[in-house]
Structure 1
Amino acid sequence: MQSHYFIAVPLPTEIKKELKKTFKKESYPFKRWVHEEDLHLTLVFLGACTNEQLEYINQNGQKILSDMHPFSLQLSSLGTYGKKTEPRIFWMGVKDQPKLHDLRNKVYELCEEAGFVLEKRPFSPHITLARKWVGLDSYNEEGNSGNTLQLEWKVENIILYKSVLTEEPKYKEIYSFSLTGDRE
């Protein structure tokens, strides 16, 4: 089984714990829940990688962030992807933050330079919580309207992760890059 890679904004432990505590399997019957340690906000999904592509990201990842300063993100509201009554993805969004889009654009360009063929869909920042609705009744997103967390955290780094599907948690940190701004 081939590993897949992605670059993401990690979440602080306290945000992960709060998400896990607030959104319980018993209240939201989805088939697969993301392990607490694996919660993140994906910037770019890479898929399979060559050693050369990984080395290119390692060599140039910090350079692209040299003018990026740490910034804050805040959780916003719940959402789903897929069929409204039986969603395939259950997620927590973040409030719009232009600096997040700037960061994503820099990472996206770096990955294209490394030779990756990337998705062209618009960037829709979210944290996947669970997959595949298996409830006996249809999913009702109106029941989630009051279920939001207004938690905030500072984005200070991004991480290149590798998926190891045979382990739990399954995302392993390969490289970490700091938002250093003018500090060097």
Structure 2
Amino acid sequence: MRAFIALELPADFADDVAAMARRLSASLDGRFLDRSTYHLTLAFLGDIDDAEASRAMDALDAACAGSTSVSLASDSLGKFGCPADATLWLGVAPGPALLSLAERVREELAARDVPFDPKPFRPHITLGRRVHISKKPLPPLAFPLPAQVQTVTLFKSTLSRDGAEYKPLYTVELAEPNL
């Protein structure tokens, strides 16, 4: 199965991301993703078997043990690929708690021999695929307000002609921060 570990976005933050994507889709051609698919990937595992999925769940428990919620603050727009056929994304500021959580997830996966993509962690939320980014100015955009994330999930990803479908396999709730 194809899998990844990601932060699930709080509803208000996801609503703000969706509003931004709608504004962008009015100016840019491409396949913009449905709000229900928004997430922030901590580690992409690729194709794993059931035993590796079980070890990934153990890694998730270990990585999140004692962790409190993570702050998300959007800070930019970016793209992967060429302007004529890009993946458009919303960048998220790499705060210390977010970077630490991503590092712990990857360390725990490695300790359990669960394969994952070793590319450096670049926090982002994918907004659209196959987007044609022209040189004309973008419309005024309201970036999402910062939010606290408490849900880390191992997802199964099934690809189809209509896009990817994500099914949660295992979820860990991060603790509320002590104020």
Greater than 6 Å deviation, 4+ residue runs: none
With 17-26 and 123-132 compared, the bigger mean Cα shift is at 17-26
SS for the counterpart of 1:93 is: strand
How many percent identity over aligned positions? 26
Unaligned runs of 5+ in 2: none
Aligned counterparts, 1:89-100, within 5 A: 89-100=87-98
Provide the aligned C-alpha RMSD in A.
2.5
Q: Which amino acid aligns with 2:165?
A: K
Partner residue in 1 for 2:170: 175
Residue of structure 2 equivalent to 1:154: 148
What is the CA distance between 1:177 and its match in structure 2? 1.1
**Structure 1 counterpart of 2:103:** 105
User: Match for residue 67 of structure 2?
Assistant: 68
Q: Are the aligned partners of 1:43 and 1:107 in contact in 2 as well (CA < 8 Å)?
A: yes
Q: Secondary structure at the match of 2:15?
A: helix
Normalised TM-score (structure 2): 0.85
In the other structure, the counterpart of 1:54 is: 53
Displacement, 1:87?
4.3
Inter-partner Cα distance in structure 2 for 1:168 and 1:89: 13
1:99 aligns to what SS in structure 2?
Answer: helix
Q: Secondary structure at the match of 1:170?
A: strand
Any idea what the Cα deviations from partners look like across 1:39-97, whole Å, max 9, x if unmatched?
001110001111111111223422322231113111122111112x3242100011230
Cα distance change of structure 1 residues 169 and 8 upon mapping to structure 2, 3 Å threshold: same
Q: Is the 8 A contact 1:80 1:87 kept in 2?
A: no
Report SS of the residue matched to 2:130: strand
AA matched with 2:28 = Y
Q: Number of aligned pairs?
A: 175
Is contact 1:76–1:92 with CA below 8 Å preserved after alignment?
yes
CA contact (8 A) 1:41 1:125 kept: yes
- Report the more deviating stretch, 46-55 or 19-28: 19-28
The gaps in structure 1 that reach 5 residues or longer are: none
